[in-house]
Structure 1
Amino acid sequence: MRRGPAVRLLFLGAVPYAEALRVQERCVAAARAARGPGALPGPGPARGGPEALPAESVVLSEPSRPVYAWGLRGAPGAAAAAALRARGAALVAARRGGHITFHGPGQLLAFPVLDLRRRRLPLRAYVAALEALVVRLCRRLGLGSARALPPPFTGVWMGDSKLCAIGVHCRNHITSHGLALNCCTDLSWFEHIVPCGLEGKGVTSLSHQLGQHVTVSHVLQPFLDSFQEVFDCTLVSSEDPRD
């Protein structure tokens, strides 16, 4: 059954975090161009007619190498940055909200590029929709106790441990960045930072919670199903992010 307007799906597989960011930026540029200066709010099709590529996108990837990324609330100091690099991780500044966190193999990254004006969706409601998406995914996998908490505890939690981090950016109503869901992530990387700036909180993964090895590929289809339900859209796969 076809749902609402089409959203372009770009699944990059295992790629460096910086490459996922570059693809995301191309999608942001395409979304702004598709809307155009005279476009009106509303759920209509992308400019260029029904055969045009969808104006909105979601970029999915699995980081191929460990990286620490921080948002608008500040970078680590010089000594802390040197210590993190010494452990073999890259450091990247990301234009999103939130503090420092870790991205690496075994983690599903999702960068939705959506037009919140067209969707008539306030930014806080959009963040809540991302949380609802992951909670819905968790319930599909049998984790009924997954929950979202009020700010500043943005994300999805299992008890006092964060399962999924969320950090977004929005400019001219076009979103970027998004969420990082720990599937079979090596959680020891989080021990060297204060994840998302939250003291006294833990980090967990689907593998840890379910007691079995859960890869990104295992959760991909239930994630896509949950995305389509929450955002009332039809995902259309695209193999070439430069199309």
Structure 2
Amino acid sequence: MSQAPVRVLRLGLRPYAEALRVQERCMGAARAARGCGPDPVPGLPGESVVLSEPSGPVYAWGLRGAPEAEVAARLRARGAGLAAARRGGRITFHGPGQLLAFPVLDLRRRRLPLRGYVAALEGLVLRLCRRLGLAAARALPPPFTGVWMGDSKICAIGVHCGNHITSHGLALNCCTDLTWFDHIVPCGLEGKGVTSLSRELGRHVTVDHVLEPFLDAFQEVFDCTLVFSEDPGD
């Protein structure tokens, strides 16, 4: 492998906000490793990937703006949390049965443009889908992002990149309750649907079921070895 190890933090079932906090700490470590921040944190690789499954329903939106107050109140009344995220893309849903992957990678060191990085994330999920038997999974040309089964999105992608360090990433529907998407226009795409691995494969597929093949595909796409670590703490 030509790249330095990437640290894997498997958080398991955690609140969405907690996964974001862990991501922020990983971004600080990546900036430090690049000499863009305080002294480097001893023993921490400069790149990480944070994996989690949201423990409760949350609607999150990116840099294109929050939902209107009336819409936000309606979503909150359904028992969902609301969160702003520093990423591209419009409003989407995160909840149990969904794999969130937040790679914190140094694109300058990897000599990878942002669009190439998004394509790499799509390619990663396509490899995973094919290993699971979903040969029809596909990526669409820009401006569409993510991975699709027909006209239904199975994996959403929304990223941020500051000083060449990535954050946020992808949300893969494994056994997600898809009815939560009925209350929004997912990612702002009118006329498009949402699906899951469980629906497409006709069997119950949990986040735990896909972690190993996901990480195998991650190593292949980003040409790296993985080291596993506990939550870095507060």
TM tier relative to shorter chain: over 0.9
AA aligned opposite 1:190: F
SS of 2:181 mapped into structure 1 = helix
TM-score when normalising by structure 2? 0.96
> Does residue 4 of the first structure (1) align with residue 3 of the second (2)?
yes
Distance 1:140 1:16 in 2: 29
Report the RMSD for the aligned CA atoms in angstroms.
Answer: 1.5
Distance 1:232 1:103 in 2: 28
Per the alignment, residue 64 of structure 1 pairs with: 55
Per the alignment, residue 170 of structure 2 pairs with: 179
Provide Cα deviations, 1:78-133, integer angstroms capped at 9, x if missing partner.
00000000000000000000000000000000000000000000000000000000
Structure 1 residue 167, shift from structure 2 partner: 0.1
Per the alignment, residue 31 of structure 2 pairs with: 32
Provide Cα deviations, 1:2-29, integer angstroms capped at 9, x if missing partner.
6632000000000000000000000001
Distance 1:195 1:151 in 2: 17
Structure 1 residue 151, shift from structure 2 partner: 1.8
Preserved CA contact (<8 Å) 2:11 2:231: no
Per the alignment, residue 76 of structure 1 pairs with: 67
Preserved CA contact (<8 Å) 2:154 2:172: yes
AA aligned opposite 1:107: Q
TM-score when normalising by structure 1? 0.93
Q: How many residues align?
A: 232
Distance 2:158 2:59 in 1: 14
Per the alignment, residue 85 of structure 1 pairs with: 76
Mark the runs of 5 or more structure 2 residues left unpaired by the alignment: none
Per the alignment, residue 53 of structure 1 pairs with: 44
Distance 2:231 2:67 in 1: 35
Per the alignment, residue 147 of structure 2 pairs with: 156
> Does residue 221 of the first structure (1) align with residue 220 of the second (2)?
no
**Matched-pair identity in %:** 82
Change (3 A) 1:217 1:3: farther
Structure 1 residue 52, shift from structure 2 partner: 3.2
Per the alignment, residue 44 of structure 1 pairs with: none
Mark the runs of 5 or more structure 1 residues left unpaired by the alignment: 39-46
Provide Cα deviations, 1:123-170, integer angstroms capped at 9, x if missing partner.
000000000000000000000110100122200000000000000000
Per the alignment, residue 12 of structure 2 pairs with: 13
Instruction: Within 5 Å, give how 1:68-147 maps onto structure 2.
Output: 68-147=59-138
Change (3 A) 1:88 1:222: same
